[in-house]
C-alpha cells in the first residue's frame, strides 16, 4: 500500500485556497446580464384550503416581470418515488405547513419582488392543523393528504422471523422508549438558485446540490424537455448533508420564472427559508424491546419507530428504513421485527440528513448500556459481544465484507483511557461509548453507477470528467488525487470537470455515501484505461513490454529500471502524431440487489461495503446548572482506506460537531403553533469552534476488497456514534439513563434532582 505517491497522503484540498481567499463563487455570487430577482410567496398557515389567489395587483406593479401560481405548473407533482408524488411544486388546493409555496415572483430588484409578494392576495380557509405525529395518527380532523388514512405516509415492516420464539428464550428482556426531536442542517450557505433558458432553449441551472443528475431528471420531466436540454452547472457549494439532493419547489419555480420572462432569475433563500422550507431531519419516537441471553447476546429485538415526516413525503421510504439499517448493520441480532411509520404533520418537510438515525440509534445504544448494567457487563464488552464481524450477513441479508468494528472499539478504548476511567471517575464525570455503521450506497437503479472520461492534452496534462459533486466534503480533491495517482501526474496537472450534467455522465451524486466508492472508482478505472494506452505507446519507444511500466511524477518508467523513462508529455505527443487516442473512459456499478425495495422488499444486498466506527466521549456535568463540559472525544472509524487523512479528520470533526456537540447537547427547534421560533443561527444553538472539545481522530483501515484502494464510506457515520457516545457519557456522569434527546441542561438537572429525591427516600 505504501507505494502510492499521492493517495493516502495528507494533501491540502485543491479547493481550499480559493475558498479561504474568498475567490470561490457560490450561487448567490452569480450575476448574469439582465438577471431578475425571484421571491416565493409562502403560506402563513399550517393547514388551510386555498380559496382564491389574486395576482393582478402584483402583476401591475412596475418592475414585476412575472408572477406564477399553481395554475402555471400544470399540476406537476414531486416525490422521490413514483408512489410518493404528493407535493405540487406550487400548491393549488391546500397548504400544509407554514412555508408552503403558493406563488413566485420575478422582478427587477429585491425590493420590488418583496413588494409584489405583499400584493398577492390569497384567500384561505383555515383547517385544523396537527403538529404531533401521535395525534396526527388519531386525528379525526381533515387528513393532511386525503389519500393517506390516519396521516400515515409510509409504513416499513421488516421481520426476519422467530422474534417471538426468541423472546421466549431470552434471559432478560427490557422495553424502553426514546424521543428525539427534529433537527436542521444549517448549511453554511443558505440555499440559492439561478436559472435561465439559453438561446437553444436549454435550461441552465446553478444551485447547491447533492447530485446534479438528481436535479436534472425531475426538471426535464417537469418541463417536458429532453434531458440533454437541462444543464445543471457546477458551482461551489457550502454544505448539503442530504438536504439538497432532491429537487425542491424553488428549483421548479425559479426555472418557470426564467422561462416566462426569458431572463435569468436568481432566488436566494433567507436563513429562515433555508431552515423551514427546504428539509429537516425527522423527529422520532422509538420503542425498543430487546431480549438477551445471560451473556448479553441479543436474541430478539422488536423496534417500533414513529417518525414525524412533516407535510410531504420527501425521501419518506428511505428515511423510515435507514435508522433500522444502521442498527442492523452495527449489531448482530438473531431475530428482529421492525415497524417504522412515517406520519404526516403540518410541519416543515423532513428528509435526508446525515444523522438519519440520530434519535433511533441513540436509544438503541442507551438500551444496550442499560442491559449491560443489569447483567453486570462493561459497555465495551457488551459491544464486543454483539458487534458486527466480517463475513456475516445483516438481518436483511446483506453480506458484510470488510469490517473492522472490533478494531475501532479496541483503538478508541485504548486512546481514550477507557479502562482507567470506566467506573473510576469522580462524581458527575462520565465516559460513554457509541458505535455506528453506515452503508456505502444503496440500490439506486439507473443512477446507481458512475462513469468518468479522461482526456489528455498535448502538454501532457489531463482533464478528468466526473458527475461526482463536491458539497464541501472534499470530493473534488478525491477525484484529482485518484486521477493524479493513476496517471502518474501531479495534482496540479489535473483539470477537473465535474458535477455538470452537460459534460459529465450520470452519477448517483453525493448521496448514500458513494462518491468515493462509486464515482472515485469510475475515475480510477478511467485513469487506468488511459494509462494503458500511454503505456502501449511508451513501451514501443522504450522497447519493453507495457506491463513492465509504471507512471509517477510525470514520467513513465520501467519498474525494475527507473532510469529508463520517458516524460508523459512526450508519450502524449507521440501518440497524437501516430493517430492514437490518448483519451479513455471508465465506469463503476456496484453489485447490489436491484430487486431490493424500501417498502415492498426490504431484503437483499444493499450495497457492497459498510463502514463501522466507535466514538468514546468523556464529559463533566455541572450538577448545579446541568451544563455539560465535554473534555475529550475519541473517534475511531473503519474507513476501508484513508485516501487523504487530512480531509478525513475534517470530516470526523464535522460529524462530531453535528451529531454530538450540537445534535446531542444544544440543537433543537422550538415551535408555536407550527411556527418555528428559532430558524436562525443566533437562536438555533449550533456549536462554535470554541465550544468544541479536544478530539482524537483514529483512522482504521480494513481495505475493502471492492472499494477503490480499499476505501468506503468515511465522513457521515461518526455523527451517529457521536450522538450515542455523548448521551452515554452524560448518562454515566449523572447516573441516569437519558431517554429524551437532545440532553439540554434542564433535562439533565431534572434527572439529577429526581435521582437525588429517590435516593433520599430510600
Using the rule CB under 8 A, give the single segment among 317-325, 506-514, 557-565, 675-683 that binds another protein: 675-683
Shortest reach from residue 30's CB to another protein, in Å: 18
CB atoms near residue 97 (< 10 Å):
26
Choices 36-44, 163-171, 339-347, 569-577 (CB under 8 A): range interacting with another protein: 36-44
Could you give phi then psi for residue 720, rounded to 5 degrees? -75, -50
User: How far does the chain reach from its first CA to its final CA, in angstroms?
Assistant: 61
> What's the min distance (Å) between Cβ of 45 and another protein?
5
Nearer to another protein, 198 or 670 (CB): 670
Report the residue number, 91 or 313, with the smaller CB distance to another protein: 91
Distances (CA, A) of 269 to 66, 278, 361, 364: 19, 10, 32, 37
Mask for 717-746, x = binds another protein (CB under 8 A): ---------------------------xxx
Give the residue, chosen from 42, 213, 229, 383, that forms a contact with another protein under the rule CB under 8 A.
42
Cell triple for 301: 429485538
Q: Which of 44, 390, 604, 735 binds another protein (CB under 8 A)?
A: 44
Q: Which CB sits closer to another protein, 375 or 692?
A: 692
Question: Least distance from C-beta 752 to another protein, angstroms?
Answer: 11
Minimum distance between the CB of residue 321 and another protein, rounded to whole angstroms?
33
Q: Check binding of 625 to another protein (CB under 8 A).
A: yes
Q: Are 513 and 438 in contact (CB under 8 A)?
A: yes
- Helix and strand tally (H, E) in the chain? 19, 30
Which is nearer to another protein, 91 or 512 (by Cβ)? 91
682 belongs to the binding site for another protein (CB under 8 A) = yes
* Residue 688 binds to another protein (criterion: CB under 8 A): yes
> What is the DSSP code (8-state) at residue 419?
H
Q: Does residue number 627 form part of the binding site for another protein (CB under 8 A)?
A: yes
DSSP secondary structure letters along 734-753: HTS---BSS--HHHHHHHHH
Figure out which of the listed residues 21, 51, 577, 690 binds another protein, where binding follows CB under 8 A: 690
Torsion of CA 655, 599, 83, 468, to 10 degrees: 40
Q: What is the DSSP string of 658-686?
A: IIIIIIIII----EETTEES--STTTS-P
Q: Does 43 bind another protein (CB under 8 A)?
A: yes
- Taking CB under 8 A as the criterion, the residue among 198, 392, 492, 670 binding another protein is 670
Handedness of CA 400, 401, 402, 407 (dihedral sign): positive
Q: Does 685 bind another protein (CB under 8 A)?
A: yes
Closest CA to 357 of 286, 429, 462, 277: 286
Q: Quote the least distance from Cβ 666 to another protein, whole Å.
A: 5
Interface with another protein includes 347 (CB under 8 A)? no
How many residues sit in the footprint of another protein (CB under 8 A)?
35
- The residue from 132, 159, 176, 272 that contacts another protein (CB under 8 A) is 272
Which is nearer to another protein, 82 or 682 (by Cβ)? 682
Residue 501, C-beta contacts closer than 8 angstroms, at least 6 positions apart: 212, 213, 215, 216, 227, 230, 231, 232, 467
Nearest to 592 by CA among 613, 609, 616: 609
Letters for 251-270 (x = contact with another protein by CB under 8 A, - = none) are -------------------x
Closest to another protein by CB, 45 vs 726, is: 45
Q: How far is CA 150 from CA 139, 140, 710, in A?
A: 7, 8, 46
Q: How far apart are CA 216 and CA 333, in angstroms?
A: 41
Segment near another protein (CB under 8 A); pick from 24-32, 108-116, 373-381, 707-715:
108-116
* Contact region with another protein (CB under 8 A), list: 63-71, 165-173, 664-672, 708-716: 664-672
Q: Which is nearer to another protein, 4 or 671 (CB)?
A: 671
Which H or E element spans position 255?
A: helix 249-261
Using CB under 8 A, which of 54, 74, 168, 683 touches another protein?
A: 683
CA distance 524 to 532: 12
The three-state DSSP-derived secondary structure of 272-327 is HHHHHCCCEECEEEEEEEEEECCCCCEEEEEEEEEEEEECCCCCHHHHHHHHHHHH
Residue 110 binds another protein, judged by CB under 8 A:
yes
Q: Which three cell numbers stand for residue 454?
A: 479522461
Give the one residue of 29, 111, 123, 135 binding another protein; rule: CB under 8 A: 111
Q: What is the CA radius of gyration of the chain?
A: 27
Under the binding rule (CB under 8 A), the answer on residue 503 touching another protein is no
Strands (E), 420-554: 429-439, 450-456, 462-466, 494-498, 549-552
Angle between helices 745-761 and 718-734 (to 10 degrees): 30
Work out whether 626 is an interface residue with another protein (CB under 8 A). Answer: yes
- 381 vs 680: CA distance, rounded Å: 42
- Which residues in 428-460 are b (16+ Cβ under 10 Å) and which e? bbbbbbbbbbbbbbbbbeebbbbbbbbbbeeeb
**Segment interacting with another protein, rule: CB under 8 A, options 66-74, 222-230, 563-571, 625-633:** 625-633
Q: From edge to edge, which strands make up the β-sheet containing 549-552?
A: 549-552, 555-558, 561-567
Our finding on whether 548 is near another protein (CB under 8 A) is no
> What does the alpha-carbon distance between residue 391 and residue 399 come to, in Å, rounded to a whole number?
7
280 binds another protein (CB under 8 A): no
In the bound complex, what is the minimum distance in angstroms from residue 104's beta carbon to another protein? 15
State the minimum distance, in angstroms, from the CB of residue 690 to another protein: 5
C-alpha span between 276 and 348 (Å, rounded): 6
C-alpha cell at 610: 459498510
Asked if 621 contacts 748 with a C-beta cutoff of 8 angstroms, the reply is yes
DSSP string covering 42-107: E-SSSSEEEEEEE-HHHHHSTTEEEEEEGGGGTT-EE-SSGGG--EESS-SSEE-STT-EEEEEEE
Q: Could you say which residues in the range 81-100 bind another protein, by CB under 8 A?
A: 98
User: Of the two residues 63 and 79, which places its CB atom closer to another protein in the complex?
Assistant: 63
Residue 182 C-beta: closest distance to another protein, Å: 16
Identify the CA nearest to 346 among candidates 145, 103, 92.
145
Q: Looking at beta carbons only, is 456 or 668 nearer to another protein?
A: 668
* Segment contacting another protein by CB under 8 A, of 209-217, 323-331, 426-434, 668-676: 668-676
Residue 679 touches another protein, criterion: CB under 8 A: yes
CB of 253 to another protein, least distance (A): 16
Binding segment (CB under 8 A) for another protein, from list 38-46, 382-390, 552-560, 631-639? 38-46
- Which residue in the set 3, 420, 624, 760 belongs to the binding site for another protein (CB under 8 A)? 624
Among 220, 339, 548, 666, binds another protein (CB under 8 A): 666
Site for another protein in 437-466 (CB under 8 A): none
Q: Of 215-223, 358-366, 586-594, 665-673, which segment contacts another protein by CB under 8 A?
A: 665-673
Footprint of another protein (CB under 8 A)? 42-45, 98, 110-111, 114, 270-272, 624-627, 666, 670, 672-673, 675-679, 682-683, 685, 687-688, 690-691, 744-746, 749
Amino acid at each position: 500500500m505504501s507505494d502510492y505517491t499521492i493517495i493516502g497522503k495528507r494533501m491540502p484540498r485543491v479547493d481550499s485556497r480559493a475558498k479561504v481567499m474568498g475567490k470561490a463563487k457560490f450561487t448567490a455570487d452569480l450575476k448574469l446580464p439582465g438577471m431578475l430577482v425571484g421571491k416565493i410567496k409562502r403560506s402563513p398557515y399550517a393547514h388551510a384550503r386555498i380559496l382564491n389567489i389574486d395576482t393582478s395587483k402584483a402583476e401591475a406593479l412596475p418592475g414585476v416581470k412575472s408572477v406564477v401560481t399553481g395554475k402555471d405548473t400544470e399540476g406537476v407533482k414531486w416525490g422521490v418515488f413514483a408512489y410518493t408524488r404528493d407535493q405540487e411544486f406550487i400548491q393549488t388546493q391546500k397548504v400544509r405547513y407554514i412555508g408552503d409555496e403558493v406563488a413566485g415572483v420575478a422582478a427587477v430588484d429585491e425590493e420590488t419582488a418583496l413588494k409584489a409578494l405583499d400584493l398577492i392576495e390569497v384567500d384561505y380557509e383555515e383547517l385544523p392543523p396537527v403538529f404531533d405525529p401521535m395525534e396526527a395518527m388519531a386525528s379525526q380532523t381533515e387528513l393532511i393528504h386525503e389519500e393517506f388514512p390516519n396521516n400515515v405516509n409510509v409504513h416499513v415492516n421488516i421481520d426476519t422471523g422467530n422474534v417471538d420464539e426468541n423472546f421466549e428464550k431470552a434471559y432478560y428482556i427490557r422495553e424502553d422508549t426514546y424521543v428525539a426531536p427534529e433537527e436542521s442542517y444549517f448549511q453554511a450557505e443558505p440555499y440559492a438558485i439561478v436559472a435561465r433558458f439559453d438561446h437553444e432553449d436549454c435550461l441552465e441551472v446553478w444551485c447547491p446540490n447533492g447530485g446534479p443528475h438528481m436535479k436534472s431528471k425531475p426538471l426535464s420531466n417537469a418541463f417536458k424537455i429532453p434531458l440533454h436540454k437541462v444543464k445543471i452547472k457546477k458551482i461551489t457549494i457550502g454544505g448539503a448533508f442530504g438536504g439538497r439532493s432532491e429537487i425542491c419547489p424553488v428549483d421548479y419555480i425559479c426555472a418557470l420564472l426564467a422561462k416566462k420572462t426569458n431572463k435569468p432569475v436568481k432566488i436566494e433563500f433567507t436563513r429562515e427559508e433555508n431552515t423551514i422550507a427546504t428539509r429537516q431531519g425527522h423527529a422520532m419516537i422509538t420503542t425498543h424491546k430487546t431480549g438477551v441471553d445471560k451473556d448479553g447476546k441479543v436474541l430478539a429485538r422488536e423496534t417500533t419507530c414513529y417518525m414525524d415526516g412533516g407535510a410531504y413525503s420527501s425521501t419518506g421510504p428511505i428515511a423510515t428504513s435507514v435508522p433500522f439499517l444502521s442498527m442492523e448493520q452495527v449489531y448482530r441480532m438473531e431475530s428482529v421485527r421492525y415497524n417504522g411509520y412515517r406520519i404526516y404533520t403540518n410541519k416543515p418537510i423532513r428528509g435526508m440528513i446525515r444523522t438519519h438515525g440520530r434519535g433511533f440509534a441513540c436509544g438503541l445504544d442507551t438500551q444496550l448500556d442499560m442491559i449491560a448494567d443489569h447483567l453486570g457487563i462493561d459497555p465495551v464488552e457488551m459491544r464486543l459481544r454483539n458487534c458486527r464481524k466480517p463475513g456475516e450477513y445483516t438481518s436483511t441479508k446483506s453480506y458484510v465484507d470488510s469490517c473492522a468494528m472490533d478494531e475501532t472499539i479496541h483503538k478508541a478504548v485504548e486512546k481514550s483511557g477507557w479502562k482507567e476511567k470506566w467506573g473510576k471517575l469522580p462524581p458527575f464525570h462520565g465516559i460513554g461509548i457509541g458505535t455506528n455503521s453506515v452503508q456505502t450506497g444503496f440500490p439506486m437503479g439507473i443512477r446507481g453507477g458512475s462513469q468518468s472520461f479522461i482526456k489528455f492534452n498535448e502538454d501532457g496534462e489531463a482533464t478528468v470528467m466526473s458527475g461526482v459533486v463536491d458539497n464541501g466534503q472534499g470530493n473534488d480533491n478525491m477525484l484529482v488525487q485518484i486521477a493524479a495517482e493513476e496517471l502518474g501526474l501531479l495534482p496540479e496537472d489535473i483539470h477537473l470537470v465535474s458535477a455538470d450534467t452537460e459534460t459529465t455522465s450520470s452519477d448517483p451524486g453525493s448521496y448514500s455515501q458513494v462518491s468515493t466508492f462509486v464515482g472515485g472508482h469510475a475515475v480510477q478505472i478511467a485513469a487506468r484505461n488511459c494509462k494503458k494506452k500511454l503505456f502501449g505507446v511508451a513501451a514501443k519507444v522504450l522497447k519493453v513490454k507495457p506491463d513492465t511500466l509504471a507512471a509517477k511524477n510525470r514520467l513513465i518508467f520501467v519498474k525494475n529500471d527507473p532510469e529508463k523513462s520517458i516524460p508523459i508529455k512526450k508519450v502524449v505527443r507521440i501518440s497524437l502524431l501516430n493517430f492514437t487516442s490518448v483519451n479513455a473512459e471508465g465506469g463503476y456499478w456496484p453489485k447490489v440487489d436491484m430487486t431490493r425495495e424500501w417498502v415492498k422488499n426490504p431484503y437483499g444486498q444493499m450495497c457492497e461495503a459498510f463502514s463501522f466506527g466507535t466514538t468514546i466521549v468523556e464529559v463533566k456535568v455541572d450538577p448545579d446548572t446541568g451544563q455539560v463540559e465535554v473534555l475529550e472525544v475519541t473517534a475511531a472509524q473503519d474507513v476501508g482506506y484513508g485516501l487523504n487523512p487530512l480531509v478525513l479528520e475534517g470530516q470526523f470533526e464535522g460529524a462530531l460537531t453535528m451529531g454530538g456537540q450540537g445534535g446531542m447537547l444544544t440543537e433543537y427547534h422550538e415551535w408555536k403553533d407550527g411556527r418555528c421560533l428559532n430558524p436562525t443561527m443566533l437562536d438555533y444553538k449550533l456549536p462554535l469552534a470554541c465550544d468544541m472539545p479536544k478530539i482524537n481522530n483514529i483512522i482504521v483501515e480494513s481495505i475493502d476488497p471492492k472499494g477503490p484502494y480499499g476505501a468506503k464510506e468515511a465522513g457521515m457515520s461518526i455523527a451517529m456514534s457521536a450522538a450515542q457516545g455523548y448521551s452515554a457519557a452524560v448518562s454515566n456522569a449523572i447516573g441516569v439513563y437519558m431517554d429524551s434527546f437532545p440532553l439540554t441542561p434542564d433535562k439533565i438537572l431534572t434527572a439529577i434532582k429526581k435521582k437525588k429525591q429517590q435516593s433520599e427516600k430510600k
